[in-house]
Structure 1
Amino acid sequence: MTSLHTTRVRRRRLGVAAAAAGLVAALFTAGPAAATPDPGDTATTDGGVPVSRQIEARAEAAIRSGEVPGVDEIVHSDNIEHLTNVPKNALKGLNTDLAFQGRYAYAGNYDGFRIFDISNPEKPRTVAEVLCPGSQNDISVSGNLLFLSTDSSRSDDSCASTSQPATEKSSWEGMKVFDISDKRNPKYVAAVETACGSHTHTIIPERGNVYVYVSSYAPNEAFPDCRPPHDGISVIKVPRNAPEDSRVVNFPVLFPDGGNPGAPANPGVSRTTGCHDITVLPSKDLAAGACMGDGLLFSIEDPENPRVIDRVQDNVNFAFWHSATFNQRTDKVVFTDELGGGGAATCNEETGPNRGANGVYDIVGRGDHRKLVFRSYFKIDRPQAETEVCVAHNGSLIPVKGKDLMVQAWYQGGVSVWDFTDSSKPREIAYFERGPVSTDAVTTAGPWSAYYYNGYIYSNDIAKGLDVLKLNDRRTDPAKKVRLDELNVQTQPDYFRR
């Protein structure tokens, strides 16, 4: 374990262009699934000068100017402490999402998952590493069950599987279920194949069962288990006492009209062929769906049969609706836009402040008459080098009564803490980031997810490992008194009704 300390603290403005437990098979590394790369990303020359060399030169110039930190240099606002970093260990793939339970943190990785004991947040300790390759490995926990998404075509449903084309009928992708009653020795107990795999998932815990909403997309006529139209989500029912009996119980159609058609009708916008991520607020029987070209508000009063209440599009500035977060009063929802598919440098002057941003929406009206009403965009204004993949990604509420505060990951844009209490005027109040991992080429790295849990921010950096941060700010300090027994961020708790 190593602890990285900041070398300088500064504030910058926008202005630079920019299953089995243990190791049971060979390590597998894959790149993140691209969502919607911008046209022109593959250009190789500009005026006879190789684009790669131009990007490298601009990145190096940005560092020399002081606008961008040096390679791997840590910078942060005065109100954030960087307590520690735990580098990758046996699992060498890309780090992904996080879930929490008591004194444990569960970290997804394209090679499997890792369990940390975080009883001392300044010194997280590895309890187990489980090799179970499959891209994404989005992760959730409920009681003694752990859920893992597989969104790459595999030879079978085992943790010793190998990559296999999706055109093969025998290929498998979907949801895996582990028994984590023994944290040191998780046991793989169930698998459920789902149409087009499982890019992400969201759980709705109940006393006897756990419902799992599986988000997946990108069907193809050549894929036997992922053919169009793919206009909904898979709903899995997992009996707590018999997870081996888990099964798909419904595939509700959310887009009876086919959803956003994308180009050519809406250039630069993804065609909707499913959902990327769903966030549920069980205490309110409400969910928000980020579904490629569409944003949804829907009822989960009957979890097996979710029902759409409202749907919105932004065909000017949103390229790929990626994730959603409710505020505590459930009168706002934040949608993120994964411009560039998590593979492009989009936090720069050329892209601007509205494209690749968060969209803040008010929820107005009651019951089935509720509507999503756009209020503003929020995007970090700290410039990034042109080799830094920067994109709005996963975050969570910071529970403070009467305030709407959120911590969010931005890949190489770092970790941002921002206030959207006034939904028309959101603003950043704290940040943490590293400089580019390279000035030679556009590189995917930085925080995949950044979540507030029991007084600390935990960030799973794609390349660098687990970071633990501490906020010291009067605006966020009341959140330190809020304690949870379990946190899956896409299953939002009601923090103040506990």
Structure 2
Amino acid sequence: MYRFVKNTTIVGVAAALAFGAPIAQACNLGPEEHGQGIVKPVEPGPEHTSGEAEIVMHSGQFTEVTEIAAVELEEIDGVSVTTADVYAHKDHAYLGTHRGARSNEGVRVFDMSDPHNPEEVAVFANDIPGTWQEKVIVKSVDTPHFTGDLAVVSLQKYNQDETEQSGTAIYDVTNPERPMQLGYYELPVDVLTGTHELYLTTQEDRAILLLANIYADYYTEGDYHDFTVVDVSDPANPEHLYNWDPRELVEAEDFDGMNYTDEDGAERTAFAHSVITDKKGEYAYISYWDLGTIIMDIRNPDQPEVVGHTTFERDVQGAAHSAALAHDDTILIETREVFEPDPDDPEFERGWGYTRIYDISDKSNPELISDIRSDNSMEQIKEGERERGTYTVHDPKVEGDKLYLSHYSDGIRLVDISNPHKPREVASYVPSAANVWGVFIYGDYILGSDMGSGLKVLDVNWGTAPGGPPTYTTPRDRMTTSLTGIQPMIFSALTFSR
């Protein structure tokens, strides 16, 4: 993520928006795209000479990973599609689409009744030109106004000349092959980005929508903030409930709604990037970039309260991107999407973004207990010697003691977190020219979304390591080398009392 100087005069918007290459912060639509900076292209992932997926099992592990399907998205009107996030509900998978070729590609729906042969059966939210639909969440809800399967879709602008609309589109997908739009929550026109990521949860007979409206505070000069809570119990009539002002936590005088200088003199950026809740819909976890992961009590969604948040040391670039929960919601997984492996700030650590694990038994005081790094994210690679590609971690998903990480050019990483103080990778999956955006757990299968090549379906047979988990004696003990020689993950265990 790049730092930006606010410029109230938007110059060169058309030129910036017409620039067709992907941008360095591939997940973010930053202010530089509206004439406030330089658009930097993402380098493609590394080409594997085999032309096939590279599946790695580390020594001493019985875990097996098999790619059983790989399906590219169908083009509409001859325009190529760039895949964004993946979600699954019941027997269908939902793929969002990235801004890619600057075409409104919508959400693609796949029939997953045969995981070996996914079939694209529908597309929706592709009728608002000038927008892209990265994120979709689908839940079964039962309210006085609606009973069925509800899909919420993020709408972001990529062309201000084509649309003023951004926010969230709401669909009935009870029949996923015939989606029907029910409602729309619209952001202020001044917000030149839109809803970046979102989440849908339920509280008894209410359906609650939580929005991360990236840079909204910056663009509206504080009149409308990034994180919003909306009641969608009546999907046709969304009800705005709450909008959180980050100034509750950002005390810096120079805070302009996005940029500020922290108490240690580091230049920081604060914006709502994504949000999840626990299973009961009682607490929200808002990934607020350099401000950390905000833990918010939403049991009363009309008046949420911040109860705690993670923080970053002076040398850490921040960039809280996404979150997941484990161990009965006592463990927080925080992924950090860092696109600047060689930062200008000499006090910042070098390397791509990696994952941090916190004990949140006390939500008011998250305790950092370990982190997870790949070789390609590490500092040891000298300037000018980095591998081609983008090696930051992206999204986490958890099931039981298993953690799955999408990692762009590092594919999908499978991590055993039965002991979250000592996580260990057991396998990885790296497709050809990998650029893996999302990962999702679908029954006995794992779904991945690759920006360039679409939907991936993996069959994972989890195993155990002989002799139990490895013993760590130093903060950065390396895992055993992989069977094929590909760079394994590195785990950094912090000093702790238990």
Provide the TM-score with structure 1 as the length reference. Answer: 0.69
Paired with 2:173 and 2:452, the residues of 1 have a C-alpha distance of: 26
With over 3 angstroms needed to count, the CA separation of the structure-2 counterparts of 1:232 and 1:255, relative to structure 1, is farther
**Runs of 4+ residues over 6 Å off in structure 1:** 41-44, 351-354
**Count of aligned positions:** 390
With over 3 angstroms needed to count, the CA separation of the structure-2 counterparts of 1:279 and 1:318, relative to structure 1, is farther
With over 3 angstroms needed to count, the CA separation of the structure-2 counterparts of 1:259 and 1:231, relative to structure 1, is farther
With over 3 angstroms needed to count, the CA separation of the structure-2 counterparts of 1:321 and 1:219, relative to structure 1, is same
1:380 paired residue number: 374
Paired with 1:336 and 1:179, the residues of 2 have a C-alpha distance of: 31
Q: Find out whether 1:434 has 2:423 as its counterpart.
A: no
SS in 2 for 1:251: strand
Paired with 2:428 and 2:176, the residues of 1 have a C-alpha distance of: 33
SS in 1 for 2:280: helix
Q: Find out whether 1:243 has 2:235 as its counterpart.
A: yes
With over 3 angstroms needed to count, the CA separation of the structure-2 counterparts of 1:299 and 1:207, relative to structure 1, is closer
Q: 2:157 aligns with which of 133, 152, 158?
A: 152
With over 3 angstroms needed to count, the CA separation of the structure-2 counterparts of 1:207 and 1:283, relative to structure 1, is closer
2:185 paired residue number: 192
SS in 2 for 1:364: coil
SS in 1 for 2:95: strand
Paired with 1:259 and 1:405, the residues of 2 have a C-alpha distance of: 38
Paired with 1:293 and 1:36, the residues of 2 have a C-alpha distance of: 17
Give the aligned residue type for 2:150. Answer: L
Q: Find out whether 1:469 has 2:458 as its counterpart.
A: yes
Give the aligned residue type for 2:49. Answer: G
Give the aligned residue type for 2:269. Answer: R
Give the 5 Å matches for 1:347-496.
356-365=353-362, 370-381=364-375, 386-399=387-400, 404-436=401-433, 446-475=435-464
With over 3 angstroms needed to count, the CA separation of the structure-2 counterparts of 1:389 and 1:219, relative to structure 1, is same
1:204 paired residue number: 201
Deviation (angstroms), 1:298: 2.1
With over 3 angstroms needed to count, the CA separation of the structure-2 counterparts of 1:354 and 1:345, relative to structure 1, is closer
Give the aligned residue type for 1:179. Answer: D
Worse overlay, 263-272 or 88-97:
263-272
1:12 paired residue number: none
1:109 paired residue number: 97
SS in 1 for 2:309: strand
With over 3 angstroms needed to count, the CA separation of the structure-2 counterparts of 1:229 and 1:212, relative to structure 1, is same
Q: Is the 8 A contact 1:380 1:428 kept in 2?
A: no
Summarize deviations over 1:198-236 as a string: whole Å, max 9, x none. Answer: 111011124543111110232477x4xx33365551111
Paired with 1:290 and 1:30, the residues of 2 have a C-alpha distance of: 27
With over 3 angstroms needed to count, the CA separation of the structure-2 counterparts of 1:453 and 1:249, relative to structure 1, is same
Give the aligned residue type for 2:91. Answer: R
Paired with 1:353 and 1:424, the residues of 2 have a C-alpha distance of: 23
Q: Is the 8 A contact 1:317 1:355 kept in 2?
A: no
Structure 2 gaps of 5+ residues are: 1-18, 58-63, 99-104, 141-148, 466-498
Worse overlay, 102-111 or 383-392:
383-392
With over 3 angstroms needed to count, the CA separation of the structure-2 counterparts of 1:189 and 1:234, relative to structure 1, is same
SS in 2 for 1:137: coil
Give the aligned residue type for 1:462. Answer: M
Deviation (angstroms), 1:138: 0.7
With over 3 angstroms needed to count, the CA separation of the structure-2 counterparts of 1:154 and 1:238, relative to structure 1, is farther
Q: Find out whether 1:279 has 2:267 as its counterpart.
A: no
SS in 2 for 1:93: coil
With over 3 angstroms needed to count, the CA separation of the structure-2 counterparts of 1:326 and 1:459, relative to structure 1, is same
Give the aligned residue type for 1:422. Answer: N
- The structure whose RCO (Cα within 8 Å, separation 6+) is larger is 1
Paired with 2:236 and 2:410, the residues of 1 have a C-alpha distance of: 41
Q: 1:82 aligns with which of 46, 67, 77?
A: 67
Give the aligned residue type for 1:322. Answer: H
SS in 2 for 1:243: coil
- Over the aligned positions, Cα root-mean-square deviation in angstroms equals 3.5
Give the aligned residue type for 1:319. Answer: G
Paired with 1:305 and 1:102, the residues of 2 have a C-alpha distance of: 33
Paired with 1:421 and 1:270, the residues of 2 have a C-alpha distance of: 34
2:174 paired residue number: 181
SS in 1 for 2:366: strand
Deviation (angstroms), 1:270: 3.7
Q: Is the 8 A contact 2:135 2:198 kept in 1?
A: yes
With over 3 angstroms needed to count, the CA separation of the structure-2 counterparts of 1:135 and 1:203, relative to structure 1, is same
Paired with 1:90 and 1:145, the residues of 2 have a C-alpha distance of: 26
Q: Is the 8 A contact 2:106 2:133 kept in 1?
A: no
Q: Is the 8 A contact 2:228 2:244 kept in 1?
A: yes
SS in 1 for 2:374: coil
SS in 2 for 1:379: strand
Structure 1 gaps of 5+ residues are: 1-27, 45-50, 156-161, 165-170, 437-444, 477-498
SS in 2 for 1:245: coil
SS in 1 for 2:339: helix
With over 3 angstroms needed to count, the CA separation of the structure-2 counterparts of 1:234 and 1:458, relative to structure 1, is same
Give the 5 Å matches for 1:19-58.
31=22, 32=26, 33-34=28-29
Give the aligned residue type for 2:395. Answer: N
Deviation (angstroms), 1:451: 1.5
Q: Is the 8 A contact 2:217 2:224 kept in 1?
A: no
Deviation (angstroms), 1:354: 6.8
Deviation (angstroms), 1:387: 2.5
Provide the TM-score with structure 2 as the length reference. Answer: 0.69
Paired with 1:290 and 1:229, the residues of 2 have a C-alpha distance of: 21
Paired with 2:318 and 2:162, the residues of 1 have a C-alpha distance of: 29
SS in 2 for 1:377: strand
Give the % identical residues: 18
Paired with 1:468 and 1:412, the residues of 2 have a C-alpha distance of: 17
With over 3 angstroms needed to count, the CA separation of the structure-2 counterparts of 1:318 and 1:327, relative to structure 1, is farther
Paired with 1:331 and 1:139, the residues of 2 have a C-alpha distance of: 26
SS in 1 for 2:236: helix
